[in-house]
Amino acid sequence: MPERVAIFGATSAIAAEVARVYARRGAHLYLVGRDPGKLARSREALGAAVVGSATADFTQMDRAADCVSEARAALGGALDVALIAHGYLGDQLASEADVDEARLIFDTNFTSVVALIIPLANHFEDRGAGHLAVIGSVAGDRGRPRNYTYGAAKGALAVYLQGVRARLGGRGVGVHLLKLGPVDTPMTVDHRKNVLFAQAPAVAAAIVAAIDRGQSEAYVPWFWRYIMAVVRAVPDALFRRVRALQAR
């Protein structure tokens, strides 16, 4: 039987590449995204692999359970893989002055993700099988002036998923957090690029490989595991003196 894969946030550049990876290996896909134009183009590009799609604003959290139910119905009643891929980098400086911007960053990157995780985790627990995967960020490993509101939301998500993983691990369910470093996508179009920026196709391949291997937490690309180990280990007094880490 083909893999049954639901992707929430399917119109992001990274999620679109993940969908291509699964389509190439014969999976059936259900795509949920915010932008109807991008969603239509993805459906056209992926062809018969897509069995259904829906547009959704994930910050409308009362719709999350319905989104999951619709995905399950379109894929024959059960999911093998669910990937939650939506996110919002936001404006750090604005979030320091405007609680509405801070709330939008948290709602998009944490609360709305939890709203999807709840019905998905319950589904996989009932099945006793499957993979629940969520795109996180290395920004969640330590707060930095450049993006600490976004990082705090991603850090909260990592802790939440630790609990979900402990709950479901004995039930045969994989719970995967993909901690991404910076990726060259429209989300980072205004960022100065350097050698640490990855490309979306390579990131997508690494995400699918990590899910296949059953990795609980995977840094993507892999070298971020070692970079962030050093960043986490720096004492706070020294951390605040390192100009590269304090840049806005």
Of 247, 246, 200, 196, give the one whose Cα is nearest residue 224: 196
pTM across the whole model: 0.93
Q: pLDDT tens digits for 115-133?
A: 999 999 999 999 999 999 9
Of 195, 201, 165, give the one whose Cα is nearest residue 182: 195
Domains with residue ranges and CATH for the chain? 4-246 (3.40.50.720)
**Spans in the chain with pLDDT lower than 50:** none
How far is residue 193's CA from residue 99's CA, in Å, rounded to a whole number?
Answer: 29
Per-residue confidence (pLDDT) for residue 188, from 0 to 100? 63
Per-residue confidence (pLDDT) for residue 190, from 0 to 100? 65
Q: How far is CA 30 from the centre of its chain?
A: 16
How far is residue 144's CA from residue 146's CA, in Å, rounded to a whole number?
Answer: 5
Of 86, 71, 84, 85, give the one whose Cα is nearest residue 28: 71
Per-residue confidence (pLDDT) for residue 189, from 0 to 100? 58
Name residue 116's beta-bridge partners: none
Per-residue confidence (pLDDT) for residue 64, from 0 to 100? 97
Q: pLDDT tens digits for 23-58?
A: 999 999 999 999 999 999 999 999 999 999 999 999
Handedness of CA 187, 178, 182, 22 (dihedral sign): negative
